[in-house]
Amino acid sequence: MIHPITIDEFLHFKEPIALMDVRTPAEFNQGHIPRAFNLPLFSNEERVKVGTTYKQVGRGEAILLGFDLTGPKWSGFIKDAMLIAPGKKIGVHCWRGGMRSGAMAWALDLYGFDVYLIKGGYKNYRGWVRRQFENKYRLRILGGMTGSGKTRILQHLETIGEQVIDLEDLAQHQGSSYGTMNKMVQPTQEQFENNLANRLKDLNPAADIWVEDESLTIGKRSIPNPFWHQMREAVLINLQVSLSQRVTSLAVEYGTLDKDFLAECTERIHKRLGPEQTKHAIAAIRENRMEDFIRIVLVYYDKTYCTGLTKRADGQVFSLSIDGYDTAAAARQILNISHTLPHGTNVD
């Protein structure tokens, strides 16, 4: 049986149902619903042919061409669907909930599947994504200069039951010139937004949600404006960790990275570091003097962070000195002070 369903209804099923995205691989790679499976009705090239036929000849001819192109594929579609949904219960969508998902739903229904056909397709899903960023959340922002251990503390907070959004993990970037760590590949902007919305839907907006202080952009990805403005209005706990602890921590983290990668990233910020400091930083990299390298670049990053703090409203920033080596103790301190602080203007 075919069950037309809204994307919101589908995403909030008590028991998750496998979702089949029948758009082309190119469409899927640009952005898709997290955990969806791509079983494209047409290849990238076939979709172009069908679309051209529709525009130049007409709807009927385009439909016939579509059947010609997919004819040999139908048994494969059914077999693939059985692999991802052996219980014969599956969601299906295309771009707008049109002919592609309709044809697939018909075939799967014929084979005995319970098919949940997403009304309006991926286009409606993208509308749902944007609405998530406009909802109001009780955000708590964790700030601090580079090397303060914010990410480690957020991870610990999550393990003890706190609600956490790791924006850097979602964006696959650590937010600086060195942010890819020579291994991470950023998702598209569209997919970053989809991943963030998917994370938000699983959280209780009436309870505290911890987020690391970030600039508007993380690498080449931008935090959606409505959510970004809520971050800027929320209370920020500014972690204060000694310079020596930060340098030691960062030297360990960056010391394992490829020297050519570090040098190339340093060259990218040469205008901000200045020619002399850039030269000294790269020399330190080549000579494996990681702590010297870290101290040089921290001058720039610390200055940038302090400038950002001055742009926040009075009474919005609360500083907290912590031991950068004891993550669990720091997390306890943060929770203790958090209970005494107000919430920002983003919460009624």
Give the active site residues: 94
Which residues are registered as beta bridge partners of 144? 239
Nearest to 139 by CA among 172, 157, 165: 165
How would you classify the pairing of strands 221-222 and 217-218? antiparallel
Nearest to 175 by CA among 264, 265, 238: 265
Q: Which residues contact 235 (CB under 8 A, 6 or more apart)?
A: 140, 141, 316, 317, 318, 341, 342, 343, 344
Which helix or strand (DSSP H or E) is residue 40 part of? none
| Cα atoms found within 13 Å of the Cα of residue 230, Cβ hemisphere only | 20
Taking CA 194 as the corner, what is the angle to CA 142 and CA 132, rounded to the nearest 5 degrees?
70
Q: What is the crossing angle of helices 121-134 and 225-233, to 10°?
A: 10
Nearest to 126 by CA among 190, 171, 38, 205: 190
The helix/strand/coil state of 31 is coil
